[in-house]
Structure 1
């Protein structure tokens, strides 16, 4: 197996926090979709956390906390990121030149929240989708809820759909709905809210990205693959693991 490495120095990235509104969400996604391929964004629509770097007057108010990454530097990086900054005056702006590895800070091994998530792939994030995000996140029954938006494009979309197990390469964006609760019992109670939120923003056929699935059952695993891809994976499973020994995963059984 061979890997192709790409130099990403210089690199400009970091967190940008701005007030959330339906128009802001729609415009942020539109700009991200049209941006140079060197620019990648992840937008988290969520209540602002009560952390020291967030002004107190914004604590728990709905914001878009985005992570911006530009593989390059100088004027090109500034030109690519500027339209996002101009959408609304930043509450927090931590975007700066940095080593690529610093974009992912160390995780706190002692933090074990109780949560649930729902992953989905969509063909659009339109104005009504953005309005629904504001509506649902403003009335969430969970302790904390977030909608994470990732525009999909670039080199990933240029690979043929049947080249690998990941075959949803033409979808416009990935959305993750995440929730934190106080007890395991609340996970069941919050499911109807998650279901209706998902339906409100689903555009196109239902599908998911397997690496973001939780323990959601075999039907959700099937959604991670188009029918033809799933059949090919079952064939591989029958050949190399006919007894389904390796089953403690997002499992594809040897047969239906």
Structure 2
């Protein structure tokens, strides 16, 4: 990308460099600012570097232009711009994709952050929310009425990205995935149509955007079902990481009532103020606990987990649900890691022991294996009801190793692959929202069997030219 001396006209490479078909496209940024009422940001602008920044480190993409539309009509206009110029299009909500798919070199970033309207119907227990909002934004807004919808476990993720990928989080065992609470959506398609979709209108597209990622259009707002939730008993519970403790934590949580969801992170103890200095760097269970049932029942449900070992720290208490989103205020945190997501049908004591041995001897100072018991309401939905088709899998596991620079990537990736291979059992599978650099090769694991075939047919109908390809891509059938 080469800015001209006046800083307003950009000469941009486009095409497929692998086929040596690069051509030159000129973008008149001044004309774009007249074309769109929303913000247009280009190289040379004072806010360009902050606007192109993403949550995760390790990527340094330089878009030709970033456009922040003000309404769905302008979203359609940005899509039309991509068609006219042939420049690659990336769609950004919260910017949390681990490999930077929400930005693009020499292309167009459609940044939804200015689409922030929210309309709560307390009597109907629904909310229409535009996809420039984050999970934290929506959670706090509906909490004022004692209501909730489950997203994930991080408040800064955009609701568009987490919802289109499925939405596994703290309320999933009780109320299902985020997509199980979607009643309708507004979608701007590759040809610029603005469609209202639900079970009775464009039902195939409605099915596909619930789990199929951003392959089928730009969702500009969702209508969610809300649930009464005055508060939860939740927070962080840190225990020493022994095979008995880790296996017991996972087993007890999986057998608990649906109201309990946990995330069991096994990792070196961070140097937090409440962690004794002699434990820094030792392996601990950094557990995130959320009990969404009556507060007076939480103690009984959590007792078997607390009894596994003397806690290093126990911060589980009655809190507002949005307080489960920990550590969202630090905008300077940009971790760089290599990771792999998978499902497992079995996590027995012997396997946990082997995983702990690998964690103890791993090459990276910071590494983690995360266990998420699933089941509950997730498993009571048919595999073919949405594009998320892993309903019966009892456990999700994520393995990550943080990098100390590009020179450490190869050894850290190998450790992640080997550890994941040790854990994997049952049919291959992947949660699309957690796929990283392996997204292309594992897309069929995210969408197995008939799910993949149906998605490719819907892709052919709504995006035959594969305009929306900066994602875990599902190509059009044929």
Is residue 9–residue 72 contact of structure 1 (8 Å, CA) maintained in 2? no
Is residue 46–residue 145 contact of structure 1 (8 Å, CA) maintained in 2? yes
Q: Greater Rg, structure 1 or structure 2?
A: 2
From 412, 419, 425, the counterpart of 1:203? 425
Gaps of 5+ in 2: 1-183, 185-222
Is residue 269–residue 281 contact of structure 2 (8 Å, CA) maintained in 1? yes
- 1:217 Cα deviation (Å)? 4.2
Is residue 132–residue 197 contact of structure 1 (8 Å, CA) maintained in 2? no
Task: State yes or no: 1:223 paired with 2:445.
Answer: yes
* Structure with more contact order per residue of length (Cα contacts < 8 Å, sep ≥ 6): 1
Shift >3 Å, 4+ stretches: none
- 1:75 Cα deviation (Å)? 2.6
Residues 201-240 of structure 1: CA distance to partner in whole angstroms, max 9, x if unpaired? 1111111100001122422121111121011111111111
> 1:178 maps to what in 2?
400
Task: State yes or no: 1:46 paired with 2:267.
Answer: yes
14-23 vs 69-78, greater mean Cα deviation? 69-78
- 1:4 Cα deviation (Å)? 1.9
Compared CA separation, residues 97 and 217, structure 1 to 2 (3 A): closer
Task: State yes or no: 1:9 paired with 2:222.
Answer: no
From 100, 109, 113, the counterpart of 2:331? 109
> 1:119 maps to what in 2?
341
TM-score for the superposition, normalised by structure 2: 0.52
- 1:143 Cα deviation (Å)? 2.6
Compared CA separation, residues 217 and 102, structure 1 to 2 (3 A): closer
CA distance in 2, matches of 1:242, 1:128: 48
Gaps of 5+ in 1: none
CA distance in 1, matches of 2:432, 2:391: 13
Q: Across the two proteins, how many residue pairs are aligned to each other?
A: 256
> 1:240 maps to what in 2?
462
Residues 40-61 of structure 1: CA distance to partner in whole angstroms, max 9, x if unpaired? 1110000100111211121100
Task: State yes or no: 1:93 paired with 2:314.
Answer: yes
**CA root-mean-square deviation:** 1.3
Q: Secondary structure at the match of 2:227?
A: coil
> 2:301 maps to what in 1?
80
218-227 vs 172-181, greater mean Cα deviation? 218-227
